[in-house]
Amino acid sequence: MTQNTIDERIASSKTSIFKVVFPNTTNHYNTLFGGTAMHMMDEVAFITGTRFCRKSIVTISSSQIDFNKPIPADSIVELIGEVVEIGNTSMKVKVQVFRENMFDDMRDKCIEGLFTFVSVDENKKPVKIID
């Protein structure tokens, strides 16, 4: 695969998920649970990685993740996944989380994390990300 084709696959596998933060996913401080955010981040990373290589993949590592900007209930969040590094049988997907207020145009980035995946065959053996 040429670098051009890889760049095209990276662009076309960029994946976005919008969600409303409902009160039933928030803690007493009325902000999104860290674990809920991590769950959504792995989900978008998984879809991004699958769409890049079109193979079975499994998460083998998540980076340190900081939650310095709390996301209050009644925010809208957008999670964006993008492949940023391609190894032999593994790849890294960066996930950025943006929050928007529901009722005005405020938008800023609040979380970022890296997820590492390996691609595997039916016998659970690692296989090449790119054939």
Q: How far is the CB of 52 from a copy of itself (least distance, A)?
A: 11
Q: How far is the CB of 10 from a copy of itself (least distance, A)?
A: 14
Cβ nearer to a copy of itself, comparing 3 with 124: 124
In the complex, the residues that contact a copy of itself under the rule CB under 8 A are: 15-20, 22-24, 27-29, 31, 33-36, 38-44, 46-47, 50-51, 54-68, 70, 74, 76, 100-105, 115, 120, 124
Supply 56's token pair: 């079975």
Q: Are strands 75-86 and 15-20 parallel, antiparallel or unpaired?
A: antiparallel
Cβ nearer to a copy of itself, comparing 56 with 89: 56
Cβ nearer to a copy of itself, comparing 4 with 24: 24
Q: How far is the CB of 128 from a copy of itself (least distance, A)?
A: 14
Between CA 42 and CA 89 the distance in angstroms is: 19
Helices 3-13 and 34-53 cross at an angle (nearest 10°) of 140
Q: How far is the CB of 89 from a copy of itself (least distance, A)?
A: 13
Between CA 71 and CA 26 the distance in angstroms is: 9
Cα 121 off chain centre by: 22
Between CA 121 and CA 58 the distance in angstroms is: 11
Cβ nearer to a copy of itself, comparing 36 with 86: 36
